[in-house]
Structure 1
Amino acid sequence: MKMNKWVSAASALLLGATPLVASFVGGVESASAQETLIVSAAGQFDYVSENIKAFEEANNVKVEVWDKDMFEVLDGLSLDGPAGTGPDVMIAPYDRVGSLGATGMLLPVTLNDEAEYDDTDKQQVTFDGEIYAAPATIETLVMFYNTDLLEKAPETFEELEGLLKDDKYAFEGEDGKNVGFLANWVDFYHTYGLLAGYGGYVFGEDGTNPEELGLNNDGAVEAIEYATKFYQESWPQGMQDKTSAPDFLNQSFMDGKTAAVITGPWMANDFNNSGVKYAAAKIPTLPNGEDYKPFGGGKGWTISAFTEKQELAQKFIDWVTSTEQQDIMYERLEEVPANQVSRKKAAESGSELTAAVIDVYKNAVPMPNIPQMAEVWTGAENMMFDAVSGSKSAKETADAAVELIKEAIAQKGY
């Protein structure tokens, strides 16, 4: 079954509205003028630009829409903000919200009550007790499976292991290797759901305590040992290369050689274009009976600390996160809404991909948004490769990664 097109990006917008007070000089009234508020939101550009007129009219403002790269805008805020050339409102990934708030780049925002955000939603955008973004979208890994090869979605990892014993999926060129099921576990982002499912974690206290790291606890080590078996017993050598593994996995699935893969919803568009017949589903249950718990992510609306239009910026955020607008956003872009009311409606839309994202997100782990998270990506970069290649044991590679992360955090002086 084909999925609807999935769009995962950011958009940008410009908004403004502070009418100038009319004055009389010599009996002649000067013309009033609208101000402009700048809002950056790259992947949401089409939705915002098509629907912003109602907001403009209701608030007597002028809105311009930027279509600039999200990360380029965020990275440039420290210079563009003071210079008066940056945006007033920006869309940002949740894992950037904490560091931007910590460095004084963002103002706190007020959440829209009608969105009915839960604790997980709020955790994604909170740093040191302050809420620095209004959740807009949610995103996490899912399982895609080939409907020509499988009658129904696998529900357990035992079923996925069974695919790797089926000669139908034997990999040509490497005796004994199989591509029936693939997951890019040499990449830390993709393997985290496995680690967390076995009890591993990044930081303690729900990702807020960098003094406590859980990537080398007993559960994490067990997860690494489990992943290593796939590489040593089943998967081709190319799956160990973290640079080429994503292309290997995706191409094998699109060529109809692989029955099931774990990857992101952002791949749906490429899968559509390839012509492969597929569906999406929740990631199967792990051998220990626990759910696969990948990072939960997404994007939220933020207010620049350099804006002179904070009240208007907050009005825009209230508007864009309203149930009405989140419904429209989903219909236009098919990104899963963070607004809980809209999310429930999207879950009933008939899209298997949307349902899969929502199902997995229920057990997803909010990605830590504290500044120290930046050091985790580098420290854990080679953790899985060292284990699956056999150069270190699971315990040795986990200990080494944690030590690297601790050293990097200490050196940066957070």
Structure 2
Amino acid sequence: MSYKSMSVWVFLLVFILMLAACGPQRSTEGVEDMGQPGADEGIKPKPAELTIWADDNAEKLADLKATTAKYTEQTGIPVNITPIAMNDQQQSLSLDGPAGKGPDLFYQPGIGSLSVQGLVQPLKVSEEDKANFTKETLEALSYDGNLYGLPFVVETYALLYNKELVPEAPKTIAELEQLAGKMTNAGSDEYGFLYDATNFYYSWAFMGGSGGYIFKETDTGFDINDIGLNQAGTVKGMSLIQSWFEKGYLPKGVNGDIVGGLFNEGKVAAVINGPWAITDHKAQLGDNLAVAALPVMEDGAHPQSFIGVKGWMLSAYSKNPEWATDLAVILTNAESSMEWFKATGEMPAHLDVLNDPLLVNDPLVAGFSEQIQYGKPFPNVAELTHVWDPMANALKFASEGEEVQAVLDEAVVQIQDKIKMAGAQ
């Protein structure tokens, strides 16, 4: 296919991964069109309330409350919103769910190990409702042929830069390093580029772009016994990252909060981050904020960023799955998705919103969607859970000067041990 002949949104639809399933037969364009869930199976009684677990972000909670208030007005069902950090929801659900204190819906980035742990149940949505999303985005929230959630946000990360410090984005890694060499003054906390390099989520782009892989992809999925994290491509990518520490381009011990703060202060020309950071940076940098695809590797390959899909998952412990599914459809419809984009800057999964001129003509959004064509979805296997900590440790050791091959060999051993232990339980 010719990438140049297609809109950036086509790439968004082709390269994103997500789930599929079934649900109530009705329109999703607004709560005013709602009917009774499961009408073909008999009317389901309305619950006293529905509970959803949302990420603990005040700005996002305000928009979510406005949407659920409309739902309550139309149905008479109160919606209780409990803010819990996304990283904590899985563990909390495993404890609170069996005790009857869990949510009906919760918000997570991909299916991961949720299905294997029995924390979700399949939801049923109509073909009309599923048509609002791509097959790939639905599959990202599916496991073993069952759909467990509805897509809400699609995302990857890209290069955010300050046009006051660098008028045009560096297009190659060589140009990025030239920028770092010219502008870095560690004593004054000034840097040409900066990112949370010991975070595997961001650093994977340079490993995958160098030919690395996590689990070997097959015609039927992924071979979890074939781990590529200590193979040549991954070693090459991590060696590149290590060289940035050795040259002083990246300081040790930097996290995402420090990166974002220095960028807002105008002390960093370019950072690697996602659309979730746009609202904050736009407020500080105004029209000087710009977004571009990650710089091309030395061999012409593009860094392979992760592509994620966040969605509203149906809890295995919900006593009202039909009405919870009904709410999930409303939360992810075109109206709700557009309001979410306006409030947060996060890219919606709903096709009508993705193709709306407001998004298509937004250069900040276009920068992310360009990077998406070079990205790759997370491996849709539960074993991915065991990769994050060992690889974060490997990156930390590499940043401190330890031999790359050795730290990656150790990381793979740890991952294999974690997978074996999980299988034995």
1:39 paired to 2:39: no
Residues 337, 348 of structure 2: 8 Å contact kept: yes
Give the letter for the 2:409 counterpart. D
The offset of 1:33, in angstroms, is 7.9
5 Å-filtered alignment, 1:43-58, equals 43=57, 44-56=60-72
Residues 320, 326 of structure 1: 8 Å contact kept: yes
Compared CA separation, residues 346 and 218, structure 1 to 2 (3 A)? farther
Residues 198, 222 of structure 1: 8 Å contact kept: yes
CA distance in 2, matches of 1:214, 1:347: 41
The offset of 1:235, in angstroms, is 1.9
Secondary structure in 2 aligned to 1:212?
strand
CA distance in 1, matches of 2:324, 2:101: 16
5 Å-filtered alignment, 1:102-141, equals 102-110=116-124, 112-119=129-136, 121-141=137-157
Following TM superposition, the consecutive aligned residue runs of length 4 or more in structure 1 with deviations greater than 6 angstroms are 16-19
Q: What does residue 22 of structure 1 align with?
A: none
Q: What does residue 378 of structure 1 align with?
A: 389
Residues 67, 331 of structure 2: 8 Å contact kept: no
The offset of 1:404, in angstroms, is 1.6
TM (normalized to structure 1)? 0.80
1:397 paired to 2:407: yes
Residues 17, 36 of structure 1: 8 Å contact kept: no
Q: What does residue 290 of structure 1 align with?
A: 301
Secondary structure in 2 aligned to 1:286?
coil
CA distance in 2, matches of 1:363, 1:104: 33
Aligned mate of 1:341, from 352, 361, 386:
352
Q: What does residue 165 of structure 1 align with?
A: 181
Compared CA separation, residues 18 and 35, structure 1 to 2 (3 A)? farther
Q: What does residue 78 of structure 2 align with?
A: 63
Compared CA separation, residues 382 and 80, structure 1 to 2 (3 A)? closer
The offset of 1:224, in angstroms, is 1.7
Aligned mate of 2:277, from 264, 267, 277:
267
The offset of 1:172, in angstroms, is 5.0
1:256 paired to 2:266: yes
The offset of 1:140, in angstroms, is 1.9
What is the Cα-based RMSD across aligned positions, in Å? 3.0
1:222 paired to 2:236: yes
Residues 17, 35 of structure 1: 8 Å contact kept: no
Aligned length in residues: 374
CA distance in 2, matches of 1:269, 1:331: 10
1:185 paired to 2:194: no
Compared CA separation, residues 178 and 83, structure 1 to 2 (3 A)? closer
Compared CA separation, residues 311 and 346, structure 1 to 2 (3 A)? farther
Compared CA separation, residues 385 and 344, structure 1 to 2 (3 A)? same
TM (normalized to structure 2)? 0.78
Q: Which ranges in structure 2 are unaligned for 5 or more consecutive residues? A: 1-33, 38-44
Residues 188, 377 of structure 1: 8 Å contact kept: yes
The offset of 1:363, in angstroms, is 2.8
1:9-67 residue CA offsets vs partner (Å, 9 max, x unmatched): xxxxxxx9989xxxxxxxxxxxx986322233345532332234554455x34132414
The offset of 1:145, in angstroms, is 1.0
CA distance in 2, matches of 1:203, 1:314: 33
The offset of 1:232, in angstroms, is 1.5
Compared CA separation, residues 37 and 352, structure 1 to 2 (3 A)? same
Q: What does residue 30 of structure 2 align with?
A: none
1:99 paired to 2:113: yes
Aligned mate of 1:308, from 319, 323, 342:
319
The offset of 1:350, in angstroms, is 4.1
1:232 paired to 2:246: yes
The offset of 1:73, in angstroms, is 4.5
CA distance in 1, matches of 2:257, 2:105: 35
Q: What does residue 6 of structure 2 align with?
A: none
Larger deviation: 245-254 or 402-411? 245-254
Compared CA separation, residues 268 and 328, structure 1 to 2 (3 A)? closer
Aligned mate of 1:87, from 81, 87, 103:
103
Tell me the percent identity: 27
CA distance in 2, matches of 1:82, 1:212: 35
Secondary structure in 2 aligned to 1:62?
coil
CA distance in 2, matches of 1:271, 1:205: 37
CA distance in 2, matches of 1:249, 1:105: 35
Compared CA separation, residues 171 and 406, structure 1 to 2 (3 A)? same
Give the letter for the 2:402 counterpart. S
CA distance in 2, matches of 1:113, 1:17: 17
Compared CA separation, residues 38 and 389, structure 1 to 2 (3 A)? closer
The offset of 1:216, in angstroms, is 1.5
Give the letter for the 2:83 counterpart. K
1:323-359 residue CA offsets vs partner (Å, 9 max, x unmatched): 3332233233332101233122266354333222322
Larger Rg: 1
Give the letter for the 1:116 counterpart. F
1:150 paired to 2:166: yes
Aligned mate of 2:333, from 322, 329, 344:
322
Secondary structure in 2 aligned to 1:348?
helix
CA distance in 2, matches of 1:211, 1:288: 29
The offset of 1:83, in angstroms, is 3.0
Compared CA separation, residues 56 and 107, structure 1 to 2 (3 A)? same
